[in-house]
Structure 1
Amino acid sequence: MNLKSLIIGELTAKLPIIQGGMGVGVSLSSLASAVAREGGIGVISAAQPGFNEEDFETNTKEANIRALKREIKKAKSMSNGGIIGVNIMVAMNNYEDFIKASVEAGADVIISGAGLPTTLPKYTKGSSVKIAPIVSSARAAKLMCKVWKERYNYLPDFLVVEGPKAGGHLGFKMDELLDHEEEPLDKIVPEVIEVAKSYKDEKEIPVIAAGGIYTGSDIAKFLKLGADGVQMATRFICTEECDADIKFKEEFLKCHEDEIKIIKSPVGMPRRAVHNQFLKDVEEGKVKVNRCFGCVKKCNPKTTPYCITRALVNAVKGDVDHGLIFTGTNGYRNDKIVKVHDLINELVTEAEAAI
């Protein structure tokens, strides 16, 4: 195996592959531990992980904290010593509680985006957990390094650079997302690498490329550009170990490229989703908000067209016609359901050949 390891402080992942966090419930302990066993970094999403708890409807915050801790501990026990991370969105209510719960449960890594995680080091101080902001520009990377250093005397343990082809809450304007003629990530990653290098006398800050990375050739491309690793989410959806219902995965097998659309979520940030029956119903005003779960800070239940929690829970449980299905730009390329082991082998073989 010729791919270099990903070194983050005293942590070493055999492979430079981070599985991106996907909520609600798409990446929990099953997927994260499977990736970690293969030598990558497996990531659990902290977005409403308690959706299957009996008291989720009546005791949402506590159900989520309880479930998150359980999923982290379960993933750690199943990972054969592999690295387990948690993705926590800044836009979530009770943000600091999810960070503290992740640290208490033994997460190795916390990755935080959907806003700039300016306070993240405050809640991980004194722990061994490695922390990384998700940034979409060199300017944002500089800002995070500056703010963390000035406020907490701490620099990021690594930087995740997310381009406009990702499925998550994206730090790009709508028109930037609609223009795919060039690959901005090609330009952004080297610029962020220069930011990281400017701190090399104080700390080695690995740079991870994310957004639209689908094949081993894509991995090789960004490693050649100087990235220390890649983050991939959408590619892991159609695996046996992915925590989502089989009907959720089958939507990707049926999906065509022109069915993947950019939408604006209740958080206010653009996201990419499969344009299914649910989104058609939203457009026609057929969806009602019957209950607010208080999941994100900027969502107003009086004005939002739909409850994002309810829509995502429906989807991950298999009620896809009443569910929201987020995806990266390459979601339509999934054509079969495979084991994580086989997918990783395919990615590594392709990457090594390309390198």
Structure 2
Amino acid sequence: MAIPPLHIGNVTARLPIIQGGMGIGISLSGLASAVARAGGIGVIATPGIGMDEPDFRTNWVEANSRALAREIRQAKANAQGGLIGVNIMTVLTNSPELIATATAENADIILSGAGLPLSLPKYVTEGSTTKLAPIVSSGRAAALIARSWQSKCSCLPDAVVVEGPLAGGHLGFKREELDDPAMRLEQLVTETIEALKPFVQKAGRDIPVIAAGGIYTGADIRAIMDLGASGVQLGTRFVATHECDAHINFKQAFVDATATDMVIVDSPVGLPGRALRNPFVEGALRGEKKPFNCPYHCLKSCDPTKSPYCIALALKQAQRGMDDTALRFAGANAWRVDKLLHVQELMDELVAGYEAATA
């Protein structure tokens, strides 16, 4: 069976594959444009996107917005007509400014999670055609957002990404839920589709459900789409590509990882997170603190006076190729990565795997 396209409103991606937004600086215009050229939806991650700007510490809101605008323009210029998305975490204190920038720059879609993006439509530039897709971890959350948007702005999500507990980075689950069969991605996709049915029927239009978290092969894509998902979002697979915007040391850590290197850490923002084991993570697991000075307070849920370390700095150190001072977020299947590929090679592999899989 040929792999189908992904329709989100009046825009279409040739392949039903969205590249996950990975901060800080892991997925920028280089990776996003390569994915878009290959037929998927390439996504720029916004957390700390302006950390390399000269005025980041003194004018960080403007620095981030400026850097985002530049990355969107570069990605679109190199996407050969493909779709470019932006991931904007709800928990970012400058999310309103980032949303306004993304829509003003005509990003094709905004994906927003790390909290319930109940106010996302409020900050969209008037007249924007940018699609809006909340990222949720349950059908209940999807219905809550749809109900809220319908009440506040007479609109509905253009798509919904449902992310399971095998994803990398911050997870929208309690530790004890990570291995709960009721939280398996297959179950979450089914319940999210059911939760959105009343809204779909009333609106007379589809709300595609995109599955994310632990999807690794084309056969995985086929299996989850056979359950009703309209597409998938993958992050980890795109780290191990030549076009990924991270330092080669970051990518090589994925190639070298084993199953025992996958660990769950308690993030300073109060959520469990999945990462690769390294000296920094070992220290975090022992409860070691890394003193830091925070001039901007980028995350609403972070108390800089109590946080054991600056997660933004730790993630940026990883992107720069550091080890002892770095936090490398990764999906549960990162240990399966054994080589670097070009994005086009990866997409070809995923498509071939989908089409070879039997229902």
State the TM-score bracket (shorter-chain normalisation): over 0.9
Alignment partner, residue 154 of structure 1: 155
Structure 1 partner of 2:170 = 169
C-alpha displacement of 1:292: 4.3
Give the equivalent residue in structure 2 for 1:279. 281
Equivalent in 252, 256, 260 of residue 250 of structure 1: 252
Aligned to 1:336: 339
Amino acid at match of 1:274: L
> Aligned with 1:320: secondary structure?
coil
1:161 is paired with a residue of what secondary structure? strand
Q: Give me the identity figure in percent.
A: 52
Counterpart in the other structure of 1:57: 57
Hey, what does 2:134 align to over in structure 1?
Answer: 133
> Within 2, Cα distance between the matches of 1:102 and 1:68?
7
Per the TM alignment, residue 196 of structure 1 is displaced from its structure 2 partner at its CA by 2.7
**Structure 1: which 5+ runs fail to align?**
none
Residue type of the alignment partner of 2:158: D
8 A contact 2:240–2:254 mirrored in 1: yes
Q: Structure 1 residue 171: deviation in Å?
A: 1.5
Secondary structure of 2:118's counterpart equals: coil
Range that drifts further, 273-282 or 228-237: 273-282
Q: Which stretch of structure 1 is more off in the superposition, 30-39 or 315-324?
A: 315-324
Aligned residues of 2:289 and 2:308 also touching (Cα < 8 A): no
- Summarize the alignment of residues 201-240 of structure 1 with structure 2, pairs less than 5 Å apart: 201=201, 202=203, 203-240=205-242
Residues 181, 193 of structure 1: CA spacing in aligned structure 2 closer, same or farther, 3 A cutoff? closer
1:258 Cα deviation from its structure 2 partner: 1.5
Residue 145 of structure 1 aligns to a residue in which SS?
helix
Query: Is 1:348 paired with 2:351?
Result: yes
Distance 1:56 1:165 in 2: 33
Structure 1 9/121 Cα, relative in aligned 2: closer, same or farther at 3 Å? same
* 1:89 aligns to 2:68 (yes or no): no
Name the CA distance, whole Å, in 2 between partners of 1:31 and 1:63.
21
Give the number of equivalent residue pairs.
Answer: 354
2:161 aligned counterpart, secondary structure: strand
Aligned residue in 2 for 1:15:
15
- Which shows bigger deviation, 306-315 or 163-172? 163-172
Could you tell which deviates more after superposition, 40-49 or 57-66? 57-66
Task: Tell me how far apart the structure 1 counterparts of residues 42 and 330 of structure 2 sit (CA, whole Å).
Answer: 18
| Distance of 1:171 and 1:28 partners within structure 2 | 24
- Contact 2:104/2:128 (<8 A) preserved: no
Give the corresponding residue for 1:105.
105
Q: Deviations over 1:50-93 (max 9, x none)?
A: 12222223322221111011001100110000000000001111
Structure 2 SS opposite 1:65 = helix
1:71 pairs with 2:75: no
The farther-off stretch of 50-59 and 264-273 is 50-59
The equivalent of 2:4 in structure 1 is 4
Code of the aligned partner of 2:257? C
Shift of 1:153: 0.4
Give, in angstroms, the shift of residue 182 of structure 1: 7.2
In structure 2, the residue matched to 1:199 is: 199
Give the whole-Å Cα distance in 1 for the aligned partners of 2:199 and 2:293: 49
Tell me which amino acid in the other structure corresponds to 1:136: S
- The answer to whether the aligner puts 1:298 opposite 2:268 as a matched pair is no
Q: Return 5+ residue gaps in structure 2 as ranges.
A: none
Ranges of 4+ aligned residues in structure 1 off by more than 3 Å: 180-183, 290-293
Counterpart contact for 1:91–1:267, Cα < 8 Å:
no
Instruction: Report the counterpart of residue 114 of structure 2 in structure 1.
Output: 114
One-letter amino acid matched to 2:172: G
CA distance in 2, matches of 1:272, 1:118: 26
Using a 3 Å threshold, how does the CA distance of structure 1 residues 206 and 284 change in structure 2: closer, same or farther?
Answer: closer
Structure 1 CA distance for aligned equivalents of residues 274 and 167 of structure 2: 8
Which one-letter code corresponds to 2:299 in the other structure?
A: V
Distance 1:264 1:30 in 2: 30
- Equivalent in the alignment of 1:322: 325
Q: Greater CA deviation, 238-247 or 179-188?
A: 179-188
Counterpart residue type for residue 236 of structure 2 = T
Whether the 8 Å CA contact 1:292–1:301 is kept in 2: the answer is: no
Distance 2:266 2:228 in 1: 32
What's the RMSD between the two structures over aligned residues? 1.5
Per-residue CA deviations over 1:256-314 (Å, capped at 9, x if unaligned) read 11211111212211111112111223335252223444110111111100011111111
1:332 Cα offset (Å): 1.1
Deviations 1:197-247 (A, max 9, x none): 322331210010001111111100111111100000011001000000000
Q: Determine whether 1:308 maps to 2:311.
A: yes
